[in-house]
């Protein structure tokens, strides 16, 4: 049962892969870099 739990855990990785997530993540990344740039 332990191994089954471990394999189901591994099957959950990567936790999210949608294209929309990439867009949102990069958007957030760029926003933060922009703030850093403005602060500089």
**Residue 36 makes contact with other proteins by CB under 8 A:** yes
Q: What length is written for the chain?
A: 40
**Residue 16 makes contact with other proteins by CB under 8 A:** yes
Alpha-carbon torsion (17, 20, 21, 27), positive or negative: positive
CB of 36 to other proteins, least distance (A): 5
Q: Report the greatest alpha carbon distance in the chain.
A: 54
**Residue 7 makes contact with other proteins by CB under 8 A:** no
SS3 at position 17: coil
Name the residues that contact other proteins, by CB under 8 A. Answer: 1-2, 5-6, 8-9, 12-18, 20-21, 23-25, 28-29, 32-33, 35-36, 38-39
């Amino acid at each position: 049962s332990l191994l089954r739990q471990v394999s189901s855990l591994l099957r959950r990785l990567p936790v999210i892969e949608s294209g929309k997530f990439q867009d949102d993540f990069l958007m957030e990344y760029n926003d933060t870099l922009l703030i850093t740039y403005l602060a500089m």
